[in-house]
Structure 1
Amino acid sequence: MQRLSENPNTLLALYRISQAASSANTPRDAYIVIIEELQRLYDPHAAAICLINPNTSLLEIDYALGYPPNLPELAIHPGKGISGRAAFNGEPILCNDVETDPRYVKLIEGVRSKIAAPMIAGGQIIGALNVDRDHVDGFTEDDLDNLVHIANEASRVLQSVWRKRQLVMQSSQLNALIEVGQSIVSKFEIQSLWQTVTEAAHQLTGAGLCTLQLYESKEKKVSLQTVFPENLEFLDMVGDIAVTESLAGSAIRTKRQVEFSNITTPDYRDLHDVPHDSEVTSCLSTPMIYEGKVIGIINVFTRERHRFANSERRLLQAFASLAAVAAQNAELYSRVFNSEERLRKSERLTTLGLLSAEIAHEIRNPLTVIKLLFSSLDLQYPESDPRNKDKQVIREKIDHLEEIVSKVLSFGKAPEGIFTHWDIDDLIADTCLLVRHKMGQLKIDLRHHASSRKARVNGNKGQLQQVLLNLIINATDAMPKGGILTITTKVEQIERRSVVALYIEDTGSGIPENLVARIFDSFLTGKAEGTGLGLSIVKRILRSHHGDISVTDTSEHGTTMRIELPFVR
């Protein structure tokens, strides 16, 4: 057998094929170079690059010379035909008369002799190269030996091109993941978020159909939320179903991705969330997991039978994790929004209570005078005199009015609430977590500098958070174009006693000089829609906690508020 080093034509072919590793941008570019060199070396009747399809496990002709254009129809099982046998056994084959060889499977006309060599990459057979001639005894052992070398180099080149394409694809997917991630984390309306997640999953994978289901752990049910492309009939038909009747059940139980290679078989007919009428074949179910709990499932369906590569799996898992975090962000945002609404409602109710109390207080004084004067008149009438009855009615109505006034004044008093020991920095951290997305939207950098020692206070958590939220909202109103809001905790010594001091510092426009002295008065406001009660309520709450609030500094560069509360050891 002629050694490779003694065949300059083969060496040149190997060199040209090796160059395709760097010059080819797609596998097709490499195929063209490989077939051109086979044509130059062998002047064949036909030649083909046959690769094993990972999804079907069939040997398919990816690129060929002298074969008809309907190449996908020429797929065969490894082990059948001469090329299939070479791919199955990993051994080259020389056949100088195909009509006498039982292994030969006729695919095209005119073939009389054939050589085939396996293509091996990374120790795994990926396909075979075959070359055909139209006459008997068309090849020698040297021809077969050269084809083995060509097949080895072609395998190395294709593996390099595939890796390069995979890197490009992964880079593209990463960019797409970042883009869709930015899109979904900015969604705070939950149903809009699910729609965006489903569309983004479809965009990332190019799948035929994508669905998103939420998991109700207490009821052991899944509910179909969105389908893309939109299919309202399927959405309405599926609705809420038991986990045991769902395709998503396996992913929920295992908390892992589950691949279904063929959902068109009868085994899947009883699963209500399988879109049987959508012409889909394979599915990958990916759980959305947050803090170890499954909150939902993203299902990606392909129209053709498909084996999901590890890169696709990792991409979808990362995307599902992003979606789970975005869902929690939306929930937190909803809580912040509701907290603000409750705060505003509380302010309106407090306004009504204070107005009622002030009116009742003003009525009580003249009512007391009327009662005293009426008693001093000492009106005495006979029982038969109608004026005696009128006198009794007047006395009863005065007592009734006094009772009403007392009730209004009593109702207007703020409840003391339940006081407990709290670490003030933990309470501040919880409050900052609630408002962090709102701060991000307003381009405000919220910073919290905790005390160097444990700062405990005795108070009502809800009321103290109301104080913090009110001050944070006021600070954001002063920074419409964004800025920095800093909350600093210190333990200070004042007149031989320890106090917890909170400094809330913003970079806003400051408080007008004429309002600083009266900033905590009721009904004083600089906002068109304000009630003027926010800071007065803050001061009243803090005083009920044996604390206080003051303005320590204000200018056009910002304002600093100081809260003082008793330190609890």
Structure 2
Amino acid sequence: MIHKLIQSLSGAQEPKILLDKILDAAVTFTGATTGSIILIDKATEELSIEAARGLADRIVKATRLKIGKGITGWVAEHKKVLRVDDVREDKRYVSLSKNIKSELAAPLILDDEVIGVINVDSTKISAFNDDDSFAIETLATLSSRVIADALIHDRLKRRSKQLETLVRIGSNLASIVSVDKILEQVTSAAADLIRARLVAVRLLDEKGENLILAAKHGGSAAYSKLPPVPVKGSVLGSVAETRIPLIIEDVLKETEYKFKNVARKEKLASMLAVPLNTSEKSLGVLVIYRDKPGDFEDDAVTIAVGLAGLTAAALQNAELFRRVIDAEKRTRLIEMKATAREMGAGLAHQIRNPLTVVRLLVGAKEQMKNMDDSDRTVALRELQRIDELISALLNNAGEEQSRYEDFDLDSLIDEILSVAKIKASSKDVSIEVKGRAEIIRGVRNQIWQVIAILIDNAVEAAQSRVMISCRKLRNGRIELSFDDDGAGVKTGIKIFEPFVSTKMNGAGIGLYTARRIVLEHGGTIKYKRSLKLGGASFSVVLPGIE
């Protein structure tokens, strides 16, 4: 009959259903009044009742025995069947019911390791005989493998569910930018996945000196009123500082734990603390409490560490989002002032270059008589450009400024060089051009401005040489390179930001303007150290004609 029962139990079943069936068989075979199947919790090395007949729920939940304690504890320790005809005469007996008179228990052994105990009781003295002992021992022997397989299957199933939940939580957290909502989801998920009594998140303050309670799941208002925890000299602080998880089997016995009174009221026993680590630092600590002393199983630690990592990433994303929003608000507040300043500086920068050319050409009043026709043409053209710039400003850069057209980039460069070489010759700087750039599409005046800025900067920085290189890339885009033999740009200087300049009297608007125009044209502009001449090298890539 026992063999048939075991055969019927083969295959994956829920552990609770399986244990109930085995226990029902044990009680039926022996005619017992009550019975229980007690399994060993490896994390705590304690025996806990997993299935019961005839016992009150409060007794089932409250009973946890150390191996070696009580009749069942003795059986687990010695791996032997034990029959006690009168428990009142046995000092090992731990009373769960005053009516019990006799007890019979057999170990559940798998590969020489005890995994639990089958136990039956009776209100009669000497209620069990040798046949009952044999039946219980046989049932225990045959069911051990089935129980172990069911527990393994259940653990894998539970772990799979935990991992699925972690993936879902990670996906959800990635779309949440509210810190409160992130922590609410995390604490709730941790309590469910790790079967915790209370879960809390403490975050480091701005100075990194204290851990502030930011969220919790479970517990009463008393826990919410706990003060900040100093990083120095505290258990949780050490977790944040070392960035390593910590397990305390019983916080009431831990000398460094400061909130024992609250722990007693909240019925908190074991604690798992996991740092919220980013690649650079710890943001705080995820704290998980259970209501019974003991260790946390490996699965629980793995889940907690994974959840802490997701939390840290989500908090980091939320902080980045907050900074973006704050930056946008600040930008809107200063936008009008910045725009006015930028327009004024931009206009000044653009006017300065043609004025310099005119000044070099005209010189003193008496030199006017010696100015040839080509010089006058250049001077008049540059004066016309000043007039166009001022008109564009007054017309808010009108439609004329934004009209795209196809134009010859080579002729535009030649036009700019006719001006730039005047300034270059006054500094004994030679300008060399290599390659041809062909036709491109864009706003001609704006591209003129970009090239003029880069050439002027190169001439200004050069000791004796400037090289301009033009080539067509395989993808059809046009690349222009501007190299000089000057000192280059120091590391760390954000040269493309407005009002940043390496020149003594520079406005700091040229490269910013150039970058803005290039980006608006769908191109790129980059700086690097020149391999050709040893100074600065600016590379501009613009779309060609499709």
Length-normalised TM-score, structure 1 = 0.56
What one-letter code is carried by the residue in structure 2 that aligns with 1:225? A
Q: Cα–Cα, structure 1 residues 546 and 347, in superposed 2: closer, same or farther, change >3 Å?
A: farther
Q: Cα–Cα, structure 1 residues 416 and 313, in superposed 2: closer, same or farther, change >3 Å?
A: farther
Q: Cα–Cα, structure 1 residues 95 and 298, in superposed 2: closer, same or farther, change >3 Å?
A: closer
Partner of 1:550: 542
Partner of 1:48: 36
Partner of 1:317: 305
Instruction: Write out per-residue CA displacement over residues 522-558 of structure 1, whole angstroms, 9 at most, x where no aligned residue.
Output: 9xxxxxxxx999638989999x96554533256xxxx
For the 8 Å contact 1:247–1:273, the answer to whether it is kept is no
Q: Which of 152, 157, 163 does residue 146 from structure 2 map onto?
A: 157
Map 1:151-190 onto structure 2 (within 5 A). Answer: 151-188=140-177
- C-alpha distance in structure 2 between counterparts of 1:107 and 1:183, whole Å: 47
What one-letter code is carried by the residue in structure 1 that aligns with 2:52? A
State the secondary structure of the residue aligned to 1:552: coil
Instruction: Write out per-residue CA displacement over residues 446-475 of structure 1, whole angstroms, 9 at most, x where no aligned residue.
Output: xxx9xxxxx9989767767769xxxxxxxx
Map 1:131-150 onto structure 2 (within 5 A). Answer: 131-132=120-121, 138-150=127-139
For the 8 Å contact 1:225–1:235, the answer to whether it is kept is no
1:82 and 2:71 are equivalent in the alignment: yes
Partner of 1:92: 81
Instruction: Write out per-residue CA displacement over residues 193-245 of structure 1, whole angstroms, 9 at most, x where no aligned residue.
Output: 45554444345435333222334798554344333459888667524x43234
Partner of 2:2: 13
1:31 and 2:6 are equivalent in the alignment: no
State the secondary structure of the residue aligned to 2:32: coil
Instruction: Write out per-residue CA displacement over residues 364-395 of structure 1, whole angstroms, 9 at most, x where no aligned residue.
Output: 99xxxxxxxxxxxxxxxxxxxxxxxxxxxxxx
Q: Cα–Cα, structure 1 residues 217 and 100, in superposed 2: closer, same or farther, change >3 Å?
A: same
CA-CA distance at 1:283 after TM superposition = 1.9
- C-alpha distance in structure 2 between counterparts of 1:416 and 1:347, whole Å: 28
Instruction: Write out per-residue CA displacement over residues 464-508 of structure 1, whole angstroms, 9 at most, x where no aligned residue.
Output: 7769xxxxxxxxxxxxxxxxxxxxxxxxxxxxxxxxxxxxxxxxx
Q: Cα–Cα, structure 1 residues 273 and 21, in superposed 2: closer, same or farther, change >3 Å?
A: farther
What one-letter code is carried by the residue in structure 2 that aligns with 1:261? E
Map 1:172-251 onto structure 2 (within 5 A). Answer: 172-188=161-177, 193-194=182-183, 196-215=185-204, 220-228=209-217, 238-239=227-228, 241-251=229-239
Partner of 1:427: none
For the 8 Å contact 2:525–2:539, the answer to whether it is kept is no
What one-letter code is carried by the residue in structure 1 that aligns with 2:200? T
1:535 and 2:516 are equivalent in the alignment: no
State the secondary structure of the residue aligned to 1:244: coil
Partner of 2:247: 259
- C-alpha distance in structure 2 between counterparts of 1:236 and 1:553, whole Å: 68
State the secondary structure of the residue aligned to 1:116: strand
What one-letter code is carried by the residue in structure 2 that aligns with 1:47? G
Structure 2, unaligned runs of 5 or more: 356-389, 391-452, 462-474, 476-480, 499-512, 528-535
Residue identity over aligned pairs, in percent, reads 22
Structure 1 residues 196-205 or 160-169, which shifts more?
A: 196-205
Map 1:373-384 onto structure 2 (within 5 A). Answer: none
- C-alpha distance in structure 2 between counterparts of 1:275 and 1:112, whole Å: 38
For the 8 Å contact 1:21–1:157, the answer to whether it is kept is yes
- C-alpha distance in structure 2 between counterparts of 1:81 and 1:63, whole Å: 18
CA-CA distance at 1:178 after TM superposition = 0.9
State the secondary structure of the residue aligned to 1:22: coil
State the secondary structure of the residue aligned to 1:267: coil
What one-letter code is carried by the residue in structure 1 that aligns with 2:174? V
Q: Cα–Cα, structure 1 residues 273 and 283, in superposed 2: closer, same or farther, change >3 Å?
A: farther
CA-CA distance at 1:298 after TM superposition = 0.8
Partner of 1:284: 272
Q: Cα–Cα, structure 1 residues 549 and 243, in superposed 2: closer, same or farther, change >3 Å?
A: same
Map 1:111-126 onto structure 2 (within 5 A). Answer: 113-121=102-110, 123-126=112-115
CA-CA distance at 1:161 after TM superposition = 1.8
For the 8 Å contact 1:187–1:193, the answer to whether it is kept is yes
- C-alpha distance in structure 1 between counterparts of 2:219 and 2:84, whole Å: 55
CA-CA distance at 1:163 after TM superposition = 1.6
CA-CA distance at 1:89 after TM superposition = 1.6
Q: Cα–Cα, structure 1 residues 298 and 122, in superposed 2: closer, same or farther, change >3 Å?
A: farther
CA-CA distance at 1:117 after TM superposition = 1.2
Q: Cα–Cα, structure 1 residues 186 and 52, in superposed 2: closer, same or farther, change >3 Å?
A: same
1:353 and 2:342 are equivalent in the alignment: yes
For the 8 Å contact 2:236–2:285, the answer to whether it is kept is yes
Q: Which of 99, 103, 118 does residue 129 from structure 1 map onto?
A: 118
What one-letter code is carried by the residue in structure 2 that aligns with 1:87? A
Instruction: Write out per-residue CA displacement over residues 254-311 of structure 1, whole angstroms, 9 at most, x where no aligned residue.
Output: 4322122333458356369976764433321001223374332111123454642211
- C-alpha distance in structure 2 between counterparts of 1:274 and 1:67, whole Å: 32
CA-CA distance at 1:312 after TM superposition = 0.9
CA-CA distance at 1:90 after TM superposition = 1.5
- C-alpha distance in structure 2 between counterparts of 1:293 and 1:361, whole Å: 46
Structure 1 residues 116-125 or 156-165, which shifts more?
A: 116-125
Map 1:336-415 onto structure 2 (within 5 A). Answer: 349=338, 352-355=341-344, 358=347
Instruction: Write out per-residue CA displacement over residues 319-359 of structure 1, whole angstroms, 9 at most, x where no aligned residue.
Output: 11222333444455566667878998789736543346659
Length-normalised TM-score, structure 2 = 0.58
Q: Cα–Cα, structure 1 residues 36 and 205, in superposed 2: closer, same or farther, change >3 Å?
A: closer
State the secondary structure of the residue aligned to 2:255: helix
Instruction: Write out per-residue CA displacement over residues 150-172 of structure 1, whole angstroms, 9 at most, x where no aligned residue.
Output: 11233322222222221221122
State the secondary structure of the residue aligned to 1:225: strand
State the secondary structure of the residue aligned to 1:187: coil
Q: Cα–Cα, structure 1 residues 287 and 148, in superposed 2: closer, same or farther, change >3 Å?
A: same
For the 8 Å contact 1:48–1:131, the answer to whether it is kept is yes
Q: Cα–Cα, structure 1 residues 58 and 191, in superposed 2: closer, same or farther, change >3 Å?
A: closer
CA-CA distance at 1:24 after TM superposition = 2.6
- C-alpha distance in structure 1 between counterparts of 2:168 and 2:136, whole Å: 47
- C-alpha distance in structure 2 between counterparts of 1:276 and 1:61, whole Å: 24
State the secondary structure of the residue aligned to 2:11: helix
What one-letter code is carried by the residue in structure 1 that aligns with 2:25? E
Alpha-carbon RMSD across the aligned residues, in angstroms, is 5.2
Q: Cα–Cα, structure 1 residues 224 and 13, in superposed 2: closer, same or farther, change >3 Å?
A: same
Partner of 1:506: none
State the secondary structure of the residue aligned to 1:238: coil
Partner of 2:425: none
